[in-house]
Chain A
Amino acid sequence: DQQVKQNSPSLSVQEGRISILNCDYTNSMFDYFLWYKKYPAEGPTFLISISSIKDKNEDGRFTVFLNKSAKHLSLHIVPSQPGDSAVYFCASEDGNTGKLIFGQGTTLQVKP
């Protein structure tokens, strides 16, 4: 059973516009959430995170929003750049075990 879901396998956006990547989770024990970015033939790299005590965290062009009541988080990239084209994984930390549970990933393509 998928505890972390990224329901959009892919997203295509024009350069300069906003990219919004979505993630849903089912376990209310999750208390820390992260986004990772992965280029082909490379390992994932950490992008941004948010604790369950917050509803927003911003780092430059990247902002993560958390809606705990809806068990939903989203990553906003503004403005999108061609170099942002990658696979984005959402991950949630199980507060009991400390394990990270990853979503299926969303492939973002930013067109010049």
Chain B
Amino acid sequence: DVKVTQSSRYLVKRTGEKVFLECVQDMDHENMFWYRQDPGLGLRLIYFSYDVKMKEKGDIPEGYSVSREKKERFSLILESASTNQTSMYLCASSSLDRDLTGELFFGEGSRLTVL
């Protein structure tokens, strides 16, 4: 069964803390994505990666960075967490196969609360 696993389901952090959100996929997918979900705003793309050590900014990259040292792992980093980064964070992966273009496989999400 294919799987995208996010390391933490729930986190509570304080303003200014550094936060790591880890994501691992077992489908050998080339593409990996980080989204955040907020009420009334849907899913917004933070960063994505099409290959190891490669990263591209999404629509809302400010305040975030990412790391992709291995194909199966994509990490989201909040260098200094702020209260407006309280959100549900969703990792996803997809194949480069054109027939599967666009179909994302999501993890279960990590709900981050920044106090």
Contacts and interface: CB of A to CB of B under 8 A. Distances in A.
In which size bucket is the chain A interface?
20 to 34
A102 B42 contact: yes
Contacts of A17: none
Contacts, number: 55
A56 B103 CA distance: 18
Contact of A32 (B48, B101, B108): B101
Contacts of B101: 32, 93, 98
Given A34-B102, A34-B103, 18 more contacts: A4-B42, A9-B40, A43-B90, A43-B92, A44-B43, A44-B104, A44-B106, A45-B106, A49-B102, A91-B102, A93-B101, A99-B58, A100-B102, A100-B104, A101-B45, A102-B35, A104-B40, A104-B41
25 contacts: A4-B42, A32-B101, A41-B108, A42-B108, A42-B109, A43-B4, A43-B108, A43-B109, A44-B43, A44-B106, A45-B106, A46-B104, A89-B42, A91-B43, A93-B101, A99-B48, A100-B104, A101-B45, A102-B35, A102-B43, A102-B44, A103-B42, A104-B40, A104-B41, A105-B42
